[in-house]
Structure 1
Amino acid sequence: MFESFDIDHEYRSSYLVSGYNTLLQYNETNGASSARDVNNDFLPRYQFSQISILEQFVPLIGITVRFKNNVTTNVEYRQTRDLNLSLLNSQLTQLNTRVIGFGFGYRTRNFRFPFGLFNNLILKNDLNFKLDFALRDNKTLIYRADVTAAQILSGAQNITYRPAIDYTISERFILNIFYDTNMTKPYTSQAFNTSFTNFGFNLKLLLQ
């Protein structure tokens, strides 16, 4: 029924310290910090200015299936969290990103148009149909020490729909017909809902 069935999963993480200073007032007694500031809090050996943590599931789960009839389908779910802690103003910024994507592809030869004025036309070379759909959700949150609830700084929901057709005219020429729709709905009132569509064709020349 199908030629291959692939399952993908990948996790990435990084920890970054933008800068730190060694406090000259730091002092130890019996292996522990003994120096205090004006608020009677213990002073650390190192004073950090900003710390960042990035976690990525790229993807958390991804499935690709290739069938014997030259049909390919794929689905994946991605999730990312970017944390930036500023110790200068006691503020934490968190960027959350979630992406759900679907894909469909079909490659054939001797394609005959099923309807219209070209119902008797047969395309003898390779014809490749592609369809990609993605739902993306971005949200930036700010946490402050003096505020109990998080505040939404920016972010939006984005939907893309991209069908395309590639036809090999000859060994050197490839015709690409595309259609691209992008719709965005922001989370804040500082931006407006947007939607745009692109469509057209490209003719590629291969020089070998």
Structure 2
Amino acid sequence: MNNDFLPFYQISQVSIIEEFVPLLGIDVRFKNNMTANLEYRQSRELSLSLLNSQLTQLNMKNLTFGFGYKTRDFRFPFGLFNNTILKNDLNFKLDFSLRDNKTIIYQADVTAAEISAGAKNITYRPSINYILNQRFVLNIFYDSNLTKPYTSQAFNTSFTTFGFNLVLTLQ
């Protein structure tokens, strides 16, 4: 009535999220106690900002594969523990992962898209689990992570962690 138009709903941003988690996944256990797994994940998030007429697209692709082996009565072939036999279950596992994250910005008045963030990430994770008895499990692990960013605003980084865990199960 007073030429003051104020909408009931004010929408500043609209988002669409698509995820295929996992898009493809295979877990296999062989007769010789070897295991193998493969997984491919893909997701995309689109965000349209109505305040500045900007579309932001976040793409994520992740490929993971791993191998494992489970044995009993393991005999050390070398070193200080030469010919020592471990009577309980011993699990070896190796996981390798490639991840690609990329954030792309599309603006209404600019014809070319701009990469604003994102990185390629490589992860390598071997581990050994040994069941000491019904209550204790010993886990020895190593984790290496290498990140290569798409923009010059961040540096290449590499992280490595290693150690062991002793897990106590109370029942």
TM-score by length of 2: 0.92
1:143 matches 2:143: no
1:114-125 pair list within 5 angstroms: 114-125=77-88
Residue 83 of structure 1 corresponds to which residue in structure 2? 46
Matched residues, percent identical? 74
C-alpha separation in 2, matches of 1:69 and 1:62: 22
**Cα shift readout 1:158-181 (whole Å, capped 9, x = no counterpart):** 000000001011111111100000
RMSD of Structure 2 on Structure 1 (CA)? 1.8
SS at match of 2:127: strand
Q: How much has 1:204 moved relative to structure 2? A: 1.0
**Cα shift readout 1:51-103 (whole Å, capped 9, x = no counterpart):** 11000111121122110111110111111100001111101010000111101
SS at match of 1:129: strand
SS at match of 1:48: coil
Task: Give the counterpart of 1:68 among 31, 37, 42.
Answer: 31
Aligned residues: 168
1:26-105 pair list within 5 angstroms: 48-105=11-68
C-alpha separation in 1, matches of 2:80 and 2:12: 68
1:111 matches 2:69: no
Q: How much has 1:47 moved relative to structure 2? A: 6.1
C-alpha separation in 2, matches of 1:182 and 1:147: 36
Q: 2:40 is aligned with what amino acid?
A: Y
Residue 91 of structure 2 corresponds to which residue in structure 1? 128
C-alpha separation in 2, matches of 1:149 and 1:47: 29
Q: 2:46 is aligned with what amino acid?
A: L
Distance 1:25 1:203, change over 3 A: closer
Q: Which runs of 5+ in 2 are unaligned?
A: none
Residue 200 of structure 1 corresponds to which residue in structure 2? 163
C-alpha separation in 2, matches of 1:88 and 1:157: 31
C-alpha separation in 1, matches of 2:103 and 2:168: 43
Q: How much has 1:142 moved relative to structure 2? A: 0.5
Q: How much has 1:46 moved relative to structure 2? A: 7.1
- Structure showing greater radius of gyration is 1
Runs of 4+ in 1 over 3 A off after TM superposition: 23-26, 45-48
Q: How much has 1:25 moved relative to structure 2? A: 8.7
C-alpha separation in 1, matches of 2:152 and 2:5: 47
C-alpha separation in 2, matches of 1:46 and 1:149: 32
Q: 2:156 is aligned with what amino acid?
A: N
Task: Give the counterpart of 1:162 among 94, 104, 125.
Answer: 125
